């Protein structure tokens, strides 16, 4: 596992969906809310957690 993957998994312990507060699943290029299914892009290693930038999966 890469350092970036490890860091992101640590972040998931404190991050939540900005719309519904649901848990997030980590994918290489995005995070997905397990509750409302919003997809948040990861740009240059930084999750874009703005709800208006999220996409419905």
Q: Where are the domains of the chain?
A: 3-56
40 contact partners, CB below 8 Å, separation of at least 6: 17, 24, 30, 31, 32, 33, 47, 48, 49, 53, 54
- Domain 3-56, what fold? N-terminal domain of TfIIb (2.20.25)
The pLDDT confidence band at residue 1, using thresholds 50, 70 and 90, is low
CA dist 4 and 11 (Å) reads: 10
Q: What is the pLDDT of residue 4?
A: 84
The greatest distance separating any two alpha carbons of the chain, rounded to the nearest whole angstrom, comes to 31
- pLDDT on residue 13: 95
Q: Is-above-0.95 flag for pTM?
A: no
For residues 13 and 53, what is the distance between their CA atoms, to the nearest angstrom? 22
SS3 10: helix
- Between residues 3 and 25, the one the model is more confident about: 25
């Amino acid at each position: 596992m890469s350092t970036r993957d490890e860091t992101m998994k640590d972040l998931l312990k404190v991050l939540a969906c900005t719309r519904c507060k649901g848990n997030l699943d980590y994918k290489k290029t995005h995070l997905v809310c397990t509750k409302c299914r919003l997809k948040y892009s990861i740009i240059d290693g930084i999750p874009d957690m703005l709800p208006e930038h999220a996409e419905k999966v």
